[in-house]
Amino acid sequence: MTTYSESISSLAETLKLFITDNILNEICHHTNAECSSHIPKLWKDINTEELFVFLGLCTASGVLRTRKEPVAQLWKTNAAYARPIFCATMARDRFFQIICVIHFDDKTTRNQQQSTDKLAPIISVLESIISTFQMAYTPNEHVPTDEQLVVFRGKCPFRMFIKSKPGKYGIKS
């Protein structure tokens, strides 16, 4: 913990600690620019408040749902494990619309950047988050580090296959 993170008292403040207004503005700008040119009739511009709610729901879905539960199940109200926070916060269709179109960079310059960096589509946002992580937390000498394979079967240029792991495809971190 640092003086930067000492006054945190809620979950929203914790998320705001790492996802700053500059990051939210950048993501909103790129997402709205991309969607207004490709799907202008279907797209309603996203603002920073709605994006922050979306990111909060993404975080909550990672914490709350079981491994094999579909994300759409989180909006069910009559299920045995209903999670009313999702219905009360954002419509399911809007959540899926945002998750399908979210952009973190200018798509017109991506090909040029990807020739040198495979993380080009997210690098500016990633660097901002890393710098806020460094301001918020200073590890001591008792923090262990290790590597792991985060299971992921989607398209990714640095996805790995490790035969000896239970989840054989993923991203090594």
Question: Could you read off the pLDDT of 138-147 as tens digits, one per residue?
Answer: 788 888 888 8
Q: Over the stretch 49-65, which tens digit does the pLDDT of each residue have?
A: 999 999 999 888 888 76
DSSP β-bridge partners for residue 117: none
Half-sphere exposure of 88 (CA within 13 A, CB side): 4
User: Please, are residues 98 and 54 in contact by the beta-carbon 8 Å criterion?
Assistant: yes
Q: Over the stretch 95-130, which tens digit does the pLDDT of each residue have?
A: 999 998 898 888 777 777 777 777 777 888 888 888
- Which residue did the predictor score with more confidence, 112 or 155? 155
pTM of the model: 0.77
Asked if the model's pLDDT at residue 1 lies above 60, the reply is: no
Select from 105, 30, 19, 22 the least CA-distant residue to 58.
19
